């Protein structure tokens, strides 16, 4: 087996096509570059674009960033709020007093938030300029056994071929449809969870005046009946990010758009049963809001993440409701495994006589992706499931748990630990071992 030690100087014999330049695609690209592989990102948009809202990363995600490429982690730390407190606080926002539910320590500078666009801008700075092909909307994939390479077709009529395709094309993934297979299948799409979020940024001086230091500086989750709200500082502490989730018995009215205009009055109504502190937070939101539908893949998960030399990662593979704030972090974990395995394929291709070993490059790639699937499938499906459950718990909708603070705390604690304290190094070791076992080299 070739060495896994990153080497920036080697020339890669492996063509990797990444579909989509979100967090999944960009972190994977940087992880591959760190291992001497120069991928091509095909992005549908004319430029990189992220919804202008906040995002936080759990400790497991920071660990995976470091493993992928220290530049990713440095980029993240560059744009986060550097000096909030390192705690996550859950409170019952429907009680007329200080009702602490649970509190977890995140480690020094743990779970920091940033503006998404700032993070992506930092990541893009580390990409060689010709890595990304913009305005490339993937419409068709062909991966037949007889083909030397996988063929890709874009909506502008252009075509390309490549050794391996990683679908990082998000919740409405085209690549997922290919991986799952032709014919009508509800797993081709994510589905509405009957919850949506109001999102808004509040100037910090205004938030501070209403809430004080503790509640503006530390991540707070306010639980309550059929709604819950999350707040944390972004933009160097100049803004308070507010995400207010509500339950919606109706169908989402638009099949194309996940975001629709909303008014503050709608939000105020949904938080009627909360106390005056939480109502004050809602009241600070701007009058014209947008609401964001929460879709996920819980009801119809992808049975697996691979088909031949094509795979999916990030939201394309496992779109989870955002209550654990871990979806993008899991995309980074996916990327760490993929970067290592593709790097192993690359090393192996260069340093061994494949024919003598009776394995072709496509065969090697298929085994690498199989390894990725085995390592990631269960944990990724679990994220989708626990994200659904914790959303119900935050909104007092779990019949056994209700808004009982002891029971809520227990559920929050073990679920968060399973996400935050995941052993990324162990995952990397296991995927390396499993791949070698598949190749019959010990």
Ligand X SMILES: *[C@@H]1O[C@H](CO)[C@@H](O)[C@H](O)[C@H]1NC(C)=O
Ligand Y SMILES: Cc1cc2nc3c(=O)[nH]c(=O)nc-3n(C[C@H](O)[C@H](O)[C@H](O)COP(=O)(O)OP(=O)(O)OC[C@H]3O[C@@H](n4cnc5c(N)ncnc54)[C@H](O)[C@@H]3O)c2cc1C
Which residues are the active-site residues?
199
Which residue, 172 or 410, has its beta carbon nearer to ligand Y? Answer: 172
Question: Rounded to an integer, what distance in angstroms lies between the CA atom of residue 234 and that of residue 84?
Answer: 10
Cβ nearer to ligand Y, comparing 285 with 364: 285
* 275 contact choice in ligand Y, ligand X, none (CB below 5 to 8 Å, kind-dependent): ligand X
Work out how close the CB of 146 gets to ligand Y at its nearest, in angstroms, rounded to a whole number: 25
Among ligand X, ligand Y, none, residue 326 binds (CB under 5-8 Å by kind): ligand Y
- Chain positions contacting ligand X, by CB under 6 A: 83, 91-93, 95-99, 217, 222, 275-278
315 binds ligand Y, rule: CB under 6 A? yes
Binding status of residue 301 toward ligand Y by CB under 6 A: no
Choose the contact partner of 152 out of ligand Y, ligand X, none; CB within 5 to 8 A by kind: none
Q: Which of 16, 19, 33, 179 binds ligand Y (CB under 6 A)?
A: 19
By CB under 6 A, tell whether 31 contacts ligand Y.
Answer: no
Under the binding rule (CB under 6 A), the answer on residue 24 touching ligand Y is yes
CB of 22 to ligand Y, least distance (A): 2
Of 116 and 220, the one with the shorter C-beta distance to ligand X is 220
Binding-site string for ligand Y from residue 107 to residue 136, where x marks contact by CB under 6 A and - marks none: -----------------------------x
Q: Are 178 and 310 in contact (CB under 8 A)?
A: yes
Q: List the alpha helices (DSSP H) in 181-292.
A: 204-217, 264-270, 276-283
Q: CB–CB of 369/303 below 8 Å?
A: no
Please report how the helices 23-33 and 70-79 are oriented relative to each other, as an axis angle in degrees rounded to 10. Answer: 140
For residues 282 and 244, is the Cβ–Cβ distance under 8 A? yes
Distance, CA of 24 to CA of 170 (rounded, Å): 8
What is the distance between the alpha carbons of residues 305 and 51, in angstroms, rounded to a whole number?
26
When asked if residue 328 is in the footprint of ligand Y (CB under 6 A), the reply is: yes
User: 134 CB contacts (<8 Å, ≥6 apart)?
Assistant: 43, 45, 46, 47
Smallest distance from ligand X to CB 436, Å: 47
Q: Which is closer to ligand X, CB of 101 or CB of 344?
A: 101
Neighbour tally for 77: CB within 10 Å? 15
Q: Where are the alpha helices (DSSP H) in 5-138?
A: 23-33, 59-68, 70-79, 116-125
> Closest Cα partner for 326 from 378, 380, 377, 247?
380
Closer residue to ligand Y in complex, CB, 138/336? 138
Neighbours of 377 (CB within 10 A): 18
Residue 292 contact, options ligand X, ligand Y, none, Cβ 5-8 Å cut-off depending on partner type: ligand Y
**Dihedral sign from CA coordinates of 127, 313, 186, 324:** negative
Tell me which of 16, 31, 34, 43 binds ligand Y, using CB under 6 A. Answer: 43
Establish if 23 lies at the interface with ligand Y (CB under 6 A).
yes
DSSP symbol at 323: G
**Touching ligand Y, residues 234-253 (CB under 6 A):** 243
Position 329 contacts ligand Y (CB under 6 A): yes
Residue 96: how many CA atoms within 13 Å on its side-chain side? 0
- Distance (Å, whole) CA 419 – CA 26: 22
Q: Which of residues 48-77 bind ligand Y (CB under 6 A)?
A: 55-57
Q: Does the protein bind ligand Y through residue 174 (CB under 6 A)?
A: yes
Question: What is the smallest separation between the CB atom of 224 and ligand X, expressed in angstroms?
Answer: 9
Classify residue 92 as left (phi > 0), alpha (psi -120 to 50) or beta: beta
Name the site residues for ligand Y (rule: CB under 6 A): 19-25, 42-45, 55-57, 136-138, 168-171, 174, 197, 243, 292, 314-316, 322, 325-329, 331
């Amino acid at each position: 087996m070739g060495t896994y030690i990153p080497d920036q100087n080697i020339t890669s014999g492996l063509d990797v096509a990444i579909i989509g330049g979100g967090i999944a695609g960009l972190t994977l690209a940087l992880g591959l570059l760190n291992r001497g592989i120069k991928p091509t990102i095909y992005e549908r948009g004319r430029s990189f674009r992220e919804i202008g809202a906040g995002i936080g990363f759990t400790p497991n995600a920071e660990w995976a960033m470091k493993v992928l490429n220290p530049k990713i982690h440095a980029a993240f730390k560059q744009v986060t709020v550097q000096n909030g407190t390192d705690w996550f606080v859950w409170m019952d926002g429907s009680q007329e007093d200080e009702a602490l539910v649970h509190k977890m320590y995140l480690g020094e500078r743990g779970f920091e938030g940033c503006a998404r666009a700032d993070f992506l801008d930092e990541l893009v700075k580390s990409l060689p300029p010709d890595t990304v092909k913009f305005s490339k909307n993937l419409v068709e994939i062909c991966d037949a056994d007889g083909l030397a390479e996988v063929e890709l077709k874009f909506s502008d009529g252009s075509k390309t071929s490549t050794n391996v395709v990683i679908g990082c094309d998000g919740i409405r993934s085209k690549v997922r449809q290919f991986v799952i297979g032709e014919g009508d299948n509800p797993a081709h799409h994510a589905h509405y969870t009957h919850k949506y979020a109001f999102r808004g940024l509040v100037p910090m001086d205004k938030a501070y005046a209403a809430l004080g230091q503790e509640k503006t500086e530390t991540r707070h989750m306010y639980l309550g009946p059929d709604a819950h709200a999350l707040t944390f500082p972004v933009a160097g502490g100049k803004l308070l990010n507010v995400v207010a989730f509500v339950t919606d018995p109706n169908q989402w009215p638009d099949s194309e758009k996940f975001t629709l205009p909303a008014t503050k009055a709608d939000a105020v109504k949904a938080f009627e049963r909360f106390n005056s502190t939480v109502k004050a937070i809602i009241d600070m939101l701007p009058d014209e809001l947008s609401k964001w539908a929460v879709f996920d893949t819980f009801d119809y998960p992808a049975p697996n993440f691979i088909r031949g030399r094509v795979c999916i990662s990030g939201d394309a593979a496992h779109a989870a409701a955002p209550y654990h704030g871990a979806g993008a972090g899991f995309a980074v974990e996916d990327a760490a495994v993929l970067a290592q395995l593709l790097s192993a394929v690359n090393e192996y291709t260069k340093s061994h006589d494949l024919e003598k070993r009776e394995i072709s490059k496509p065969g090697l790639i298929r085994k690498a992706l199989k390894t990725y699937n085995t390592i990631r499938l269960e944990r990724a499906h679990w994220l989708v499931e626990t994200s659904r459950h914790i959303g119900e718990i935050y909104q007092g909708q779990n019949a056994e748990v209700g808004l009982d603070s002891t029971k809520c705390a227990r559920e929050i604690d073990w679920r968060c630990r399973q996400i935050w304290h995941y052993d990324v190094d162990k995952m990397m070791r296991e995927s390396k071992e499993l791949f070698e076992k598949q190749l019959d080299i010990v």
